[in-house]
Amino acid sequence: MNDDLTARARIRDAAIKLFTERGIEGASIRDIATEAGVSSGLIRHHFGSKEALREACDNYARDRMFQLSRELIDEQGLENVSIATVQPVSFPLQTYLVRSMMDGSETAAALFEQTVAYGEEWAKTHGVVTDDFRAWSAVITVMKLGVFVLRDQLEQALDIDISTTDGYARLSRAYVDIFSQPLLTPEQAANLRKDQS
């Protein structure tokens, strides 16, 4: 039974890797079997079809990211989170989920919606100044996911692979710098809000 579970996990991890690199259409069952070191028949035995495998990967990535969020932020507190702890687990899952969103996954789209809803509620209870909490959360979410969409351009600009611990740390420090200081004075913000109304 343990060998069976290990094979299932190996298949899932191989599929996540190849779906991320090639998209759902570009990764065949045969490619995934080769990457996982199993037969194509074993993939069909465990998952039935490529779509079912993709759904299992989506659900695993979503659930694992929520679990990480609870463990690292809700239980430890954001101030105690270490990049070295977060990066090796979260980066591949984040990258996969963004690719899955781009490929039209309903599970990944639902995760996006959940993330926006969570951010909206967080903003309401943490003193964020806005008259449109929904837009605030949606834009922040897209900005953070955009790093993965434009990964090649970002890595070229920084001359570093953001999937490495050093690269992820540099990216994270930039987020901290951006989010920890206002870019506009209160007067500028008031004028811009007035111009947009």
> Is residue 166 in some structural domain?
no
pLDDT for 3 equals: 54
pLDDT for 44 equals: 94
Q: pLDDT at residue 86 above 70? A: no
CATH number of the CATH domain containing 132? 1.10.357.10
pLDDT for 10 equals: 94
Q: Which two tokens stand for residue 53?
A: 């495998």
| Mean pLDDT, residues 19-30 | 92
Kindly report the average pLDDT of the chain as a whole number: 87
> Is residue 28 in some structural domain?
yes
**What is d(CA 134, CA 53) in angstroms, rounded to the nearest whole number?**
33
| Mean pLDDT, residues 80-89 | 62
What domain range includes position 114?
2-149
Buried/exposed code over 43-72 (b: 16+ C-beta within 10 A; e: otherwise): beebbeebeebbbbbbebbbeebeebeeeb
Condensed to tens digits (0 to 9), the pLDDT of residues 108-142 reads 888 899 889 989 998 999 999 899 999 999 999 99
Least confident of 41-55, 64-78, 129-143, 147-161: 64-78
| pLDDT over 90 percentage in the chain | 51
Going by pLDDT thresholds of 50, 70 and 90, the confidence category of residue 1 is very low
> Is residue 176 in some structural domain?
no
> Is residue 45 in some structural domain?
yes
> Is residue 195 in some structural domain?
no
> Is residue 155 in some structural domain?
no
> Is residue 174 in some structural domain?
no
Cβ-based neighbours of 44, under 8 Å, separated by 6 or more: 29
Looking at the 3D structure of the chain, how many domains does it have? 1
> Is residue 139 in some structural domain?
yes
pLDDT for 194 equals: 81
